[in-house]
Amino acid sequence: MLLAMSSFMPSNMISLARAIQMRPVIPELSPVDAETSMWMRDAWKNKKLPQIKKLEDYYKYFPYRYGQAIWAYIGGRWGDEMIGRIWKMLARTNDYESVLQGVLGLPMKKLSEDWQKANEQAYAPFVPLTETPDKCARLLFKGTEEDVYNVSPVLSPDGKYVAFLSSRDLFSVDLYLADAKTGEVKKKLTSTALDPHFESIEFIQSAGSWDPTGERFVLGTVSKGKPNLTIFNIPKGKVEREIHLPQLGEILAPSWSPDGQEIAFSGLVGGVTDIYIYNLKDDTLKQMTNDSFGDLHPVWSPDGRKIAFVTERFSGNLKWLDPGHYELAILDVASGEVTRILAFPTGKNINPQWSKDGQDLYFLSDYTGKTDLYRINLQDGKIYQITNLFTGVGGITPLSPAISYAPLSNQLAMSVYENGYFSIYLIDNANQLIGQSTIAQLGERPVALLPPREQPEGALLGLLRNPLYGLPKDTDFPIAGYHPKLTLDYLAQPTVAVGVDRYGTYAGGGIAAFWSDMLGYHTLVTMAQTNTNLIDSYALIGYQNSQNRLNWGAVIQRVPYIYGSYGAYYDTINDYPVYVEEEMLYRQINYQVEGFANYPINTFMRLEFNAGFNLIDFNNHLYRYIYDAYTYQLIDYYNLSMPASPSIKYGYASAALVYDSSLFGACSPIIGQSYLLQVEPAFGNLNFVTVMADYRRYFMPVKPFTLAFRVLHYGRYGSGGEDPRLWPLFIGYETLVRGYAYESFDYNEFDTNNPKAFDFNRLLGSRMLVANVELRFPLFKVLGIGKGFYGIWPLEFLAFYDVGTAWYSNEKPTWFGGSKKPVSSTGVGLRTNLFGVLVLGFDYVYPFDRPIKGWHWQFTITPGF
């Protein structure tokens, strides 16, 4: 049912519905949620609550927050049972607006207005009872539309520097080093978008740690699919050491011991997190906890004898599948004994940080319904509130590390959610870090309760609070092997077309179907297209196995390529004048059987192998129409089969090395590099070797300007590489050297009596070499129209220079000491992305080697190289 509805329901509601179907007991379903409440409070305060229909833009409105808020409003106003009625109605129709209006009795506009008013009524009373982060801390890094994430700050022991994770370069979340006093960024320590070495830096749920000297920094990373402890040498700004721990799944939140000899961290194995300690001197790994409860955020005490961490072991019940809530605990390193820290009895208590003397723990809690910073004295258990923010302290997820304490400078850094983004603030006021002994009272209505409910009640909450609901009676279940079965995933919209003209009636159509098994290990695609001329039918069947790292498959297809020529002339038949039109159709029909395999080496690099057999058949037809020269009435018609080249049969095998770290913008790549090296020998009726080398590099010297470079060589080598039955290579395509397209030439450019005539053979050969340089930038962004990287619309301006040459084996380009001249062009243009469907481009180009043609427009429907 969900797949059927997903084509017309707003993605925010679909995402929540997917969660409903797949996870029957999860916090996202509850109308009590501190994280979602924070997002909605912030959106209301900054006047960013959208109309419900605008939630279809899931890039702008995160589905699991806004979708949850909408369903909570519907359930709270009309009853949770109403949600079930809505989904039943949606199973019968494809108009969600009509369903909501029919079931709820309100048009969409009114529903949106009521939801927005409910948010105002719920959250406006909290404004005078809370404060903004600038009242208690100093801003270091402000989140913006172009720098959404500034999270996981980690202060050096002396408080001079802060390492943090940020999306400030637009293309990825990376680790940065900055001056904690001025906020000046000193170094970028990782580049996950461009460096294949770091496949992940675990930015969603982790942070790093400084060594006691403040000269080294450790971070949990993933490289080649395996977790590592990566140690950076900060003065040198490079990786000093990597510790590979392949026996683990992930390494989260590492913490350096005070003596610099050990690193504690939370390790994930088999879906379970435990506390581990790695000894840097002995290169040994010791597991400190070993159970099925979650253990997170370890941090060493100043004396190195204890580790504070977060756990659910004290309130969770695995038998009832009740995860409990996260609490603070202390692990005695010598004995392994775990002691419970009695902080707040409900909500989360996470991200502990030791005070300088080891007598207190700073931590985060959402006990009041929003996440704030607190301090607990370990001697008397008294809790002090340090922040009372309208939004809250936090990271990307509710369990992301968000605070760091510098013991030598008595400073604390924290990430805060505000105005839809994450900013980093620094508390350097000693009195502020003492906190208030009384916890702020925020009224009778729970802060985490989503409107319109005034109290946490309702059928859904009752079910969620009952951990026994939904548990099966049996605890032993049969285990059976997985036997994949292909089922239909997607059926493309069938197409049918009918046309009539003076030559007759024509019909055609096509269809495509995509199949897979439940785990996506096996994929099958079938396509077919035909028309009145069955000879022009297209068919394909392909299979891919993705069960292992080596993906392999096969494809069988029949592909007709059709091109033609047209001519008209006057003639006589039996001395009677006639007008003759001739249309010549050339068909090249490819029958192909191919097997392929792809092996990814890392995130950016892979090996590709292909082997197959090709049969290329040729078919030529002449259609001749004879008209009366005076009345232009059709006198006669001939459909003649004309001589064609003999078929070509050959096998082939290819190997390629592919590297691609480029990041694609809306219209073209904007940073990174890519290259392809491919060799493909062919054998049979024709014997030749195809060689391809394609290198592309994208620089961004000044944001948002990109300098793009490409060098491309493609050639057929060997005795069969220049067989006349093979199309010659042509460098005049819009994607190669602009300004020399087939359709742009006039007959007068080939007049040999004209000294400015163009030799078309300069564009043809069996080998080619092309180079391109392009300056591209988002036009509206540079003009300051709109926000984001592209402004109000993804429109890219470009200036380019293209040069290329093509030659046969008996020729040599001037670049290599021969006589065949290259061609070149320059110009400017625009590209735009039309709703993610295609990239449309217009180039105003000047071909240097076509003086008759000069400046002219050129149209493209492909992204930039």
DSSP 298-316: EEE-TTSSEEEEEE-TTT-
Chain segment 363-407, per-residue pLDDT in tens: 999 999 999 999 999 999 999 999 999 999 999 999 999 999 999
pLDDT at 525 > cutoff 90:
yes
Q: Of 152-161, 192-201, 494-503, give the lowest mean pLDDT range.
A: 494-503
Predicted local confidence at residue 501, as pLDDT: 56
Q: Which residues pair with 504 in a beta bridge?
A: 501
Exposure string of 328-354, with b = 16+ CB inside 10 Å and e = fewer, is bbbbebeeeebeebebbeebbbbbbbb
Q: What average pLDDT does this structure show over 851-858?
A: 93
With tokens 């057929």, the residue in question is 716
More confident residue, 475 or 178: 178
Which amino acid is residue 517, in one-letter code? D
Least confident among 588-597, 652-661, 717-726: 717-726
Q: What is the pLDDT of residues 466-484, one digit of tens each?
A: 777 766 676 677 888 888 9
For the ranges 56-60, 89-93, 498-502, 705-709, the maximum mean pLDDT occurs at 705-709
102-119: per-residue pLDDT in tens?
A: 899 999 999 999 999 999
Tens digits of residue pLDDT in 771-815: 999 999 999 999 999 888 899 999 999 999 999 999 999 999 999
Pairing of strands 161-166, 150-155: antiparallel
Residue 455, class by beta-carbon neighbours within 10 Å (0-12 exposed, 13-18 middle, 19+ buried)?
exposed
Decide: 141 and 150 in contact? Cβ < 8 Å: yes
Radius of gyration of the chain (CA): 34
Nearest to 540 by CA among 520, 560, 563: 560
Asked if residue 128 has a cis previous peptide bond (ω within 30° of 0), the answer is no
Q: Which residues of 245-274 are buried (b: 16+ CB within 10 A; e: fewer)?
A: beebbbbbbbbbbbeeebbbbbbbeeeebb
Token pair for residue 848?
A: 């240097």
Confidence of residue 837 (pLDDT cuts 50, 70, 90): confident
The span from the CA of 284 to the CA of 164, in Å, is 28
Quick check: 8 pLDDT over 80?
A: no
Which contacts qualify for 190-197: CB closer than 8 Å, 24 or more apart? 190/219, 193/169, 193/661, 193/663, 193/671, 193/672, 194/661, 194/663, 194/671, 194/672, 194/673, 195/661, 196/602, 196/603, 196/604, 196/605, 196/661, 197/223, 197/602
Pairing type for strands 238-244 and 295-300 reads: unpaired
Residue tagged 């007008």 (tokens) = 579
Q: Which CA distances in Å does 865 have to 36, 658, 708, 837, 855?
A: 41, 16, 8, 17, 22
As its CATH architecture, domain 663-675+688-865 has: Beta Barrel (2.40)
How does strand 411-418 pair with strand 403-406? Answer: antiparallel
Average pLDDT over residues 328-356: 96
What is the residue whose two structure tokens read 């580049």? 191
Question: Count of residues for the chain?
Answer: 865
Q: How confident is the model at residue 196 (pLDDT cuts 50, 70, 90)?
A: low
**Helix axes of 96-104 and 81-90: crossing angle, nearest 10 degrees:** 140
Identify the pLDDT of residue 565: 82
Give the amino acid at 157: P
| CA-wise closest residue to 449 among 33, 115, 97, 748 | 33
Pairing mode of beta strands 250-256, 238-244? unpaired
Residue 277 phi, psi (nearest 5): -130, 125
- Please enumerate in sequence order all residues whose Cβ is within 8 A of that of 66, keeping only pairs 6 or more positions apart, or say none: 12, 39, 50, 55
pLDDT, residue 154, reads 98
The three-state secondary structure class of 525 is: strand
Give 29's pLDDT tier (boundaries 50, 70, 90): low
Nearest to 114 by CA among 52, 22, 197: 52
* Cα(710)–Cα(693) distance, integer angstroms: 11
The domain segmentation of the chain, as residue ranges, is 2-128, 133-434, 663-675+688-865
Q: Answer left, alpha or beta for residue 144, where phi above 0 means left and psi between -120 and 50 means alpha.
A: beta
Which residues lie across from 568 on neighbouring strands? Answer: 581
pLDDT band at 1 (very low <50, low <70, confident <90, very high): very low
Least confident of 2-11, 179-188, 339-348, 689-698: 2-11
Answer for the pair 674, 661: CB distance below 8 angstroms, yes or no: yes
In CATH, what is the architecture of 133-434? 6 Propeller (2.120)
For residues 601 and 607, the answer to whether their CB atoms sit within 8 Å is yes
What mean pLDDT value characterizes the chain?
Answer: 90
Q: Where are the beta strands (DSSP E) in 546-687?
A: 551-573, 576-600, 605-628, 634-642, 648-660, 663-664, 669-684
Looking at residue 58, what is its pLDDT? 76
129-143, 699-713, 752-766: range with lowest mean pLDDT:
752-766
Q: Strands of 383-385's sheet, edge to edge?
A: 349-354, 360-365, 372-377, 383-385
Dihedral sign, Cα of residue 757, residue 760, residue 761, residue 763: positive
Taking residues 242-259, what's their average pLDDT?
A: 96
The larger pLDDT score, comparing residue 477 to residue 341, is at: 341
Selection from 153, 285, 148 nearest residue 217 by Cα: 153
* Residue 668 reports pLDDT greater than 80: yes
Q: Are both 133-434 and 663-675+688-865 of the same fold? A: no
Q: Place 26 in a pLDDT band, splitting at 50, 70 and 90.
A: very low
Query: What does 608-638 look like in DSSP terms, one character per residue?
Result: EEEEEEEEEEEEEEEEEEEEETTT--EEEEE
Compare 104 and 196 and report the one with higher pLDDT: 104
Q: Are 509 and 496 in contact (CB under 8 A)?
A: yes
3-state secondary structure (DSSP) of residue 545: strand
Judged against a pLDDT cut of 50, whether residue 6 lies above it is answered with no
Residue 146: the pLDDT is 85
